């Protein structure tokens, strides 16, 4: 099972199968949105014909032998090839063409057939798809002893940021963490955050150990001193909500010495045209940067059901006590979404309540099953993509990736997004699903930023 972890409040379990026998991979699908180079003048004034290069990697290494199909702007097949020893494929294309990667993983009783498609590509594009990152490099091993039982706690977690142990039920047994180098901060030390959670997963206590030195071999972290239950002030104020807003939830994402930690969540409702959500920082001055994801539930359809969501993903360079957002600037919602097939081609249909002209692009996930196969299509599309969207032709040589005679379709997942740090679809299609990384805020630049998104169809995790 593959996961794009931390994408919105509900984990986005996308089930992308691994290559080369590794059956857990994490979709990256692009570069770092916050560090993506701005397009050059040549890219902005791209020619109508030119070369596009595609690179596919897994575990940080090139993946050879994957089928790649280039389609012209009409969706017709232009050429088919396979990735070379460098994991690369290239073709001379017209503006508005597309390219797809095809992957099959056989395992267990169900085969997984995966299609990854970049729509509306342009000459000069250098597209990258990462199935997962390089394997972690161990810096040290840490042994952590919790401060004992905490009132109201059902389970406990211990985290070093990029690695953690969850669902701990005995708080007196020492926990061992293998600390990768990615968990080390800018000063090459690491931090430990322990959390006590009640039966619903809400935080009822926390404790921290800061700037733990890496001494080589096994590093024993002294027992954490005592559970804390007070927090530094952090309040979210949301004004001018849409009339169909059903509630709001907040994910706090804290950076400790630059390393990502999941902070306490919070939620509430709207009253009198606004919502005030009180949360908090862990005390001790250990948090150096705030990042957050705000989810606004929306009713959709007729009769109205709570099935849509608007999302704000933001970041600050420091730790402000108050965050305010005017929700009148949310992207339009998507009232409905469905999936089918037209002439052996996947077709997605949706009903937006307005224009996505200000967005940077769309991410779409189409899923269906047939006989003993599970199909998934990951799609990157421009913001002006029209409904219905009929996907490019899959050649006869790869007909197993087409919907067959009796597919069972799920509602698609649709995400339209606009970031003040993303320069339109020229950047969006190169970043792809990597906009969200391993958690909802990974794509934010270090100096902050704001991304607005609309979720429609089948919500992530369902």
CATH assignment at residue 405: 2.60.40.10
CA angle 8/308/101 to nearest 5° reads 60
Q: Name the region of 8 (left: φ>0; alpha: ψ -120 to 50; beta: rest).
A: left
Residue 321 lies in a domain: no
Residue 461 lies in a domain: no
Q: What is the helix (H) or strand (E) element at residue 274, kind and residue range?
A: strand 274-282
- pLDDT of amino acid 72: 97
User: Do 124 and 211 sit in the same domain of this protein?
Assistant: no
Cα 377 to Cα 262: distance, rounded to the nearest angstrom: 29
User: Do 338 and 359 sit in the same domain of this protein?
Assistant: yes
- pLDDT of amino acid 40: 42
Per-residue model confidence as pLDDT tens for the chain (462 residues): 222 233 333 223 222 222 222 222 223 444 433 333 334 444 445 579 999 999 999 988 999 999 999 999 999 999 999 999 999 999 999 999 999 999 998 766 678 999 999 999 999 999 999 988 788 899 999 999 999 999 999 999 999 999 999 999 999 999 999 999 999 998 999 999 999 999 999 999 999 999 999 877 667 788 799 999 999 999 999 999 999 998 999 999 999 999 999 999 999 999 999 999 999 999 999 999 999 999 999 886 555 454 679 999 999 999 999 999 999 999 999 988 999 999 999 999 999 999 999 999 999 999 999 988 999 999 999 999 999 999 999 999 999 999 999 999 999 999 999 999 999 999 999 888 888 877 889 889 999 999 999 999 887 655
Residue 280 CB-density burial (10 A; 0-12 exposed, 13-18 middle, 19+ buried): middle
- pLDDT of amino acid 174: 93
Residue 446 lies in a domain: no
User: Do 391 and 364 sit in the same domain of this protein?
Assistant: yes
Last residue of a domain, one of 220, 246, 270: 220
Q: Which residues pair with 311 in a beta bridge?
A: 295, 453
Last residue of a domain, one of 176, 192, 220: 220
User: Do 126 and 196 sit in the same domain of this protein?
Assistant: no
* Three-class secondary structure of residue 143 per DSSP: strand
- pLDDT of amino acid 11: 27
* Three-class secondary structure of residue 435 per DSSP: helix
Residue 118 lies in a domain: yes
User: Do 186 and 123 sit in the same domain of this protein?
Assistant: no
Q: Name the region of 307 (left: φ>0; alpha: ψ -120 to 50; beta: rest).
A: alpha
Residue 193 lies in a domain: yes
- pLDDT of amino acid 45: 54
What residue ranges in 109-154 does DSSP mark as E strands?
A: 111-121, 126-130, 138-144
User: Do 124 and 215 sit in the same domain of this protein?
Assistant: no
Residue 52 lies in a domain: yes
Last residue of a domain, one of 191, 220, 249: 220
Residue labelled with tokens 């706690």: 153
Name, in order, each residue with C-beta under 8 angstroms of 279's C-beta and a sequence gap of 6 or more.
231, 234, 235, 236, 250, 252, 263, 264, 265, 266
Residue 116 lies in a domain: yes
Residue 292 lies in a domain: no
Cα 303 to Cα 298: distance, rounded to the nearest angstrom: 13
User: Do 128 and 148 sit in the same domain of this protein?
Assistant: no
User: Do 111 and 60 sit in the same domain of this protein?
Assistant: yes
User: Do 158 and 216 sit in the same domain of this protein?
Assistant: yes
Structural domain of residue 79, as residue ranges?
A: 33-132+334-435
Name, in order, each residue with C-beta under 8 angstroms of 423's C-beta and a sequence gap of 6 or more.
38, 39, 360
Q: Look at the chain and report how many structural domains it folds into.
A: 2
User: Do 191 and 128 sit in the same domain of this protein?
Assistant: no
Cα 253 to Cα 251: distance, rounded to the nearest angstrom: 6
User: Do 73 and 155 sit in the same domain of this protein?
Assistant: no
- pLDDT of amino acid 438: 78
* Three-class secondary structure of residue 329 per DSSP: helix
User: Do 340 and 404 sit in the same domain of this protein?
Assistant: yes
Residue 21 CB-density burial (10 A; 0-12 exposed, 13-18 middle, 19+ buried): exposed
């Amino acid at each position: 099972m593959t996961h794009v972890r931390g994408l919105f409040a509900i984990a986005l379990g996308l089930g992308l199968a691994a290559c080369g026998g590794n059956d857990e991979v994490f979709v990256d699908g692009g570069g770092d949105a916050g560090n993506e180079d701005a397009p050059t003048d040549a890219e902005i004034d791209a020619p109508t014909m030119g070369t596009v290069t595609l690179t596919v990697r897994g575990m940080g290494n090139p993946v050879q032998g994957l089928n790649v199909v280039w389609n012209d702007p009409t969706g017709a097949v232009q050429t088919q090839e396979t990735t070379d020893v460098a994991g690369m494929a290239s073709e001379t294309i017209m503006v508005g063409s597309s390219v797809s990667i095809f992957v099959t993983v056989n395992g267990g009783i169900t085969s997984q057939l995966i299609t990854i498609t970049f729509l509306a590509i342009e000459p000069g594009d250098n597209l990258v798809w990462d199935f997962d990152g390089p394997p972690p490099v161990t810096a040290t091993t840490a042994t952590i002893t919790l401060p004992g039982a905490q009132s109201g706690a059902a389970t406990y977690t211990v985290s070093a940021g990029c690695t953690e142990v969850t669902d701990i039920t005995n708080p007196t047994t020492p926990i061992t963490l293998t600390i990768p180098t990615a968990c080390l901060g800018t000063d090459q030390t690491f931090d430990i955050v322990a959390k006590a959670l009640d039966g619903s997963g809400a935080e009822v206590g926390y404790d921290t150990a800061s700037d733990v030195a890496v001494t080589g071999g096994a590093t024993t972290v002294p027992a954490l001193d005592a559970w804390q239950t007070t927090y530094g002030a952090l309040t979210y104020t949301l004004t001018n909500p849409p009339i169909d807003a059903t509630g709001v939830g907040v994910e706090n994402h804290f950076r400790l010495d630059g390393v990502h930690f999941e902070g306490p969540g919070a939620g509430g409702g709207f009253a009198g045209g606004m919502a005030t959500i009180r949360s908090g920082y862990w005390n001790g001055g250990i948090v150096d940067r705030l990042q957050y994801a705000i989810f606004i539930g929306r009713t959709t359809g007729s009769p109205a059901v709570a099935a849509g969501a608007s999302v704000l993903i933001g970041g600050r360079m420091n730790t402000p006590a108050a965050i305010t957002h005017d929700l009148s600037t949310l992207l339009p919602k998507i009232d409905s979404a469905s999936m089918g097939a037209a002439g052996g081609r996947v077709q997605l249909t949706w009903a937006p309540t307005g224009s996505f002209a200000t967005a940077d692009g769309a991410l779409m996930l189409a899923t269906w099953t047939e006989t003993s196969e599970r199909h998934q299509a990951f799609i990157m599309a421009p913001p002006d993509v029209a409904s219905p969207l009929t996907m490019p032709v899959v050649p006869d040589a790869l007909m197993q990736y087409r919907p067959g005679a009796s597919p069972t379709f799920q509602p698609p997942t649709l995400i339209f997004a606009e970031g003040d740090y993303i320069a339109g679809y020229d950047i969006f299609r190169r970043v792809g699903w990597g906009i969200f990384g391993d958690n909802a805020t990974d794509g934010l630049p270090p100096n902050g930023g704001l991304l607005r998104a609309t979720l429609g169809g089948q919500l992530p995790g369902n």
